[in-house]
Amino acid sequence: MAITWNINSMDRDLKSGDHENIITTIHWTASDADSDGNTGSSYGSVGVTLVGTPKAYADVTESDAIGWAKDALGDQVAEIESNIANQISLMKNPITASGISW
């Protein structure tokens, strides 16, 4: 299993001092699925400081944004990915149930 990260949206300042189109927040999703169709996912937003973004906004790729988001999340990336794996594990091996007995 490999976690797939996607970028849903990015907020940016159109003009900040001498800079334009500075990305300030990245909205992301991360997900995975096993061969049996069990899935897990997480989503969130992270603030980034990219003054002088190394690329023109029009040239920023999703891969760039994923890297910036992961850098900003730091140690939380491992926690997010572990949580997704746990979601899938619990779907395969549930530890709780609900219902009525009659």
Whole-prediction pTM: 0.86
pLDDT digit string, tens, across residues 2-44? 999 999 999 998 987 787 888 999 999 999 999 999 999 999 9
Q: Which residues contact 48 (CB under 8 A, 6 or more apart)?
A: 23, 24, 25, 26, 68, 69, 71, 72
Q: Residue 52 has what pLDDT?
A: 58
CA 47-50-5 angle, to 5 degrees, is 55
Which amino acid is located at 65 in the chain? Answer: A
Mean pLDDT of 53-77: 90
- Segment 67-82 mean pLDDT: 97
